[in-house]
């Protein structure tokens, strides 16, 4: 308990799924949390209702914005510094997903997927990094995916972005390490979230249950616990690392998400 007592954290895509679980865990551990979200009235309303006391106490703030736009990260940073005076942890988690054959993915779809899933991460890292370099301390945690370890069919743009984030994580860890800034990644395996709700058919769930050595799909709080570790001082000598949290899936063979046209 209280591993983040008094620290300030930004979590993008924090209104539902893994992001919301990270918000909950960070609040429990004593952090002040700023949540960025986009186009999720239901999720943000539920978060406000469930954590009304934290909002009243100034422990939780929510702001809508499109992280694929560079100015959004800068605006969120200005709000955080204006409110709290500093920042300790930035978690890049916001993501979108589309199941599609690579040969039919349109240019607009490709660019939108990369704009959110890759560009948005860079803008977040850049905004946080500028402040962290001045402060001479700070932690960035990028949420990647087990897909960049064990490729999954029909998710080319999403997987390409996640793989690029791993490279970005390592590069920034090398660039900023001598300023006391740590940059790491967490790669969730199959996880029960709204983002995956349409992908996880009964057949897919049965396949995962068979292939995952621990026998189940992850819950968001399983991932949040690992993000907490990388955000806390317990990982003070860890940087440039992608920590895979998948119940052993990526060491136990491939899986796929079938399309409706009989793909196999």
Both tokens assigned to 18: 């893994």
Q: Which residue has the higher pLDDT, 209 or 184?
A: 184
**Amino acid 150: pLDDT:** 87
What does the alpha-carbon distance between residue 208 and residue 224 come to, in Å, rounded to a whole number? 21
Angle at 86 between CA 233 and CA 78, to 5 degrees: 135
State how beta strands 242-245 and 32-37 pair.
Answer: unpaired
**Amino acid 264: pLDDT:** 52
Is 38 designated active site?
Answer: no
pTM of the model: 0.93
Q: Given 37, 38, 121, 158, which residue is catalytic?
A: 158
Share of the chain above pLDDT 70, in %: 95
Rounded to 10°, the helix 107-114/156-176 angle is: 30
pLDDT band with cut points at 50, 70 and 90 for residue 195: confident
């Amino acid at each position: 308990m209280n591993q983040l007592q008094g620290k300030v954290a930004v979590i993008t895509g924090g209104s539902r799924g893994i992001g919301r679980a990270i918000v909950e865990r960070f609040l429990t551990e004593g952090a002040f949390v700023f949540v960025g979200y986009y186009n999720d009235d239901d999720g943000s309303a539920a978060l406000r209702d469930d954590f009304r006391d934290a909002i009243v106490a100034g422990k939780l703030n929510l702001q809508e914005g499109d992280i694929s736009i560079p100015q959004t990260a800068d605006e969120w940073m200005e709000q955080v510094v204006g409110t709290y005076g500093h920042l300790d942890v930035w978690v890049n988690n916001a993501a979108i997903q589309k199941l599609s054959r690579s040969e039919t993915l349109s240019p607009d779809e490709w660019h939108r997927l990369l704009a959110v899933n890759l560009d948005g991460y860079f803008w977040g890292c850049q905004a946080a990094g500028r402040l962290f370099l001045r402060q001479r301390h700070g932690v960035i945690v990028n949420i990647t995916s087990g897909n960049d370890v064990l490729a999954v069919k029909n998710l080319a743009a999403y997987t390409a972005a996640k793989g690029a984030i791993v490279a970005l994580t390592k590069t920034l860890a090398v660039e900023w390490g001598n300023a006391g800034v740590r940059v790491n990644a967490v790669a969730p395996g199959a996880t029960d979230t709204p983002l995956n709700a349409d992908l996880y058919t009964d057949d897919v769930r049965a396949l995962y249950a068979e292939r995952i050595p621990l026998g189940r799909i992850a819950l968001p709080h399983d991932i949040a616990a690992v993000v907490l570790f990388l955000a806390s001082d317990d990982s003070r000598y860890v940087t440039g690392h992608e920590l895979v949290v998948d119940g052993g899936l990526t060491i136990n063979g491939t899986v796929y998400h079938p399309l409706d046209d009989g793909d196999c």
